[in-house]
Amino acid sequence: MLSQQTMDIVKSTAPVLEVHGNNITKTFYKNMFAAHPELLNIFNHANQAKGRQQAALANTVYAAAVHIENLGAIMPVVKQIAHKHRSLGIKPEHYPIVGEHLLGAIKEVLGDAATDDIINAWAEAYGVIADAFISVEEEMYQEAEKQQGGWRFFKEFEIANKVVENEEITSFYLKPVDGKVLPQYQPGQYITVQVTIPGDEFTHNRQYSLSRAANNEAFRISVKREDINDPEGKVSLYLHNQAKVGDHIQVSAPAGDFQLDLASKAPVTFIAGGVGITPLMAMFDTLAALDANRTTTLIHSARTSNLHVFDNEIQENIAKMSNASYIALNTDEVGYITKEFLQENVSLENDVYVCGPAVFMEAIINQLYALGFKESQIHFEFFGPAQQLNVAVKA
C-alpha cells in the first residue's frame, strides 16, 4: 500500500510526464538496450524505430501518475499490456531491469527537477505497479499452460501450408511439431511468432491475429507484406519471401483481450480496414459455426477489389447463416466510409467491432459516436502497441 505522501508526489509529476514522457521513454529504451542488448530478442525493432513503443509506454506511465490513488482504473490497460507481455515471454526478472532504467531516464531527462523525493516516490510506485503486472501475467501464464494442449512460453511449430491470398497477404498454417492437440482460443486473439532471420544478430517477435475460428488442425495467420514502410517489415518480408512449407518457427499460446462476446445476442457488425480483417474473419467464422442465427454484417474496406480476401470462406459462412451479409468497399472507387454509409448499414442496437489502421479506426469510431453509439458497443484492436485515438465525442 502506497502512502498518501508517495501518491501525492507521484500525482504531482503528471503534468511533467505529459510534457516530457516521450523523451523519458526514448532515453529509457536507449539506455536499457545499451546495458541489456539481450532484450532486443524480445522487443519489436520496427516499433522502436517508429517511436510507437516509446509513445505507448509514455502514455502508460502518465496514466499511472494520474490514477495512482486508484490503480484499479487502469487495470484494463494493465491486462491489455499483460496479454502482450505473456505472449512475448516477459518474466518477473525483467521488471527490476525496467525499473532501474525507467527511474534513471526520469532523472536524466528532468535533471535537478527530479528530486530524491520524486525518484523515491516513483521507485515505490513502480514496485507496486510491477507487482500488479507480475501477478496478472502469472495468472495468464497458468491459464495458457493448464488448458488442453497449452504451454507456457514458446513452442516449436511447423509451417504446414502457405497460401497466397492476394498480392499483399499470405496465409500461413502452423502445426505443433510435437503433434499435440491445439488449445482453443477466443476469436479475435493473436499469437506471437518468433523467427530467426539468417544474418540477424537477434530473434524477432511479431504478433499476428488468428484469422479463422479455433480448430484442432492448425493455427492460421494471414500476414501482410510490409514493403512500402520505413523501415520495411523485416519479419513479414521474411515470411513472404523466405519462409517455406516445412520450416520451423517458435509460437506462443493465443493471447489478447480483443474478443468476440459470444454471450451477446445483439446484432453485430464487423468493420475492417485492409489487413484488419484478420481478427474479424475469425469472429465471423466463429459465428457461422456457433451462432448462425445472429444478425451479422461484415464490412471490408480496401483500396481495390484485388485486395479483398477470404471471399470464398465468407460466402460459405453466409450460406450457413440465417441473416448475414457482406459489403466489400473499394476506396479507390467509392472513397472512405462515411457517417451516412454507417447510418444506412449499421443499426443503433448493434455491437460493432473495428480493426484497421489507427486513422481508419479514429474515423469510424468518431462517426459511430456521432450517430449515437455508446462506448460499450464499440470494440477495437490495435496492431502493435496501443495508441491514443483522437476520439472527439463519446455518447
The dihedral sign for the CA sequence 277, 52, 122, 37: positive
8 Å CB contact between 236 and 224: yes
Q: Is 111 annotated as a binding residue?
A: no
Is 80 assigned to a binding site?
A: no
Q: Which of 62, 126, 137, 353 is catalytic?
A: 137
The verdict on whether 137 is a catalytic residue reads yes
Q: Confirm if 17 and 28 have CB atoms less than 8 A apart.
A: no
- Cα angle, residue 372 at apex, residues 370 and 373 outer, rounded to 5°: 105
Q: Residues 207, 192: contact at Cβ < 8 Å? A: yes
Does the annotation flag 341 for ligand binding?
Answer: no
Is 206 marked as binding a ligand? yes
225 is in an annotated binding site: no
Q: Is 276 annotated as a binding residue?
A: yes
364 is annotated as contributing to ligand binding:
no
Cα of first residue to Cα of last residue in the chain, in angstroms, is: 36
The closest alpha carbon to 99, from 74, 129, 70, belongs to 129
Q: Is 179 annotated as a binding residue?
A: no
Residue 278 annotated as binding? yes
Q: Identify whether the C-beta of residue 368 lies closer than 8 Å to the C-beta of residue 302.
A: no
C-alpha distances in Å from residue 362, one per residue of 55, 252, 273, 393? 17, 30, 12, 11
- Is 85 labelled as part of a ligand binding site? yes
| 204 has binding-site annotation | no
- Give me the residue label for grid cell 530467426: 196
Q: What letter does residue 47 receive in the DSSP assignment?
A: H
Residue 95 bears catalytic tag: yes
Contact 106, 78 (CB under 8 A): no
Annotated catalytic residue within 95, 238, 326, 369: 95
Q: List CB contacts of 256: < 8 A, sequence separation 6 or more.
A: 83, 87, 186, 188, 189, 190, 207, 209, 381
Residue 190 is labelled as binding a ligand: yes
Q: Binding site: what residues are annotated?
A: 85, 190, 206-209, 274-279, 382-385
Q: Binding site for FAD: what residues are annotated?
A: 190, 206-209, 382-385
Which active-site residues does the annotation give?
95, 137
Q: Binding site for NADP(+): what residues are annotated?
A: 274-279
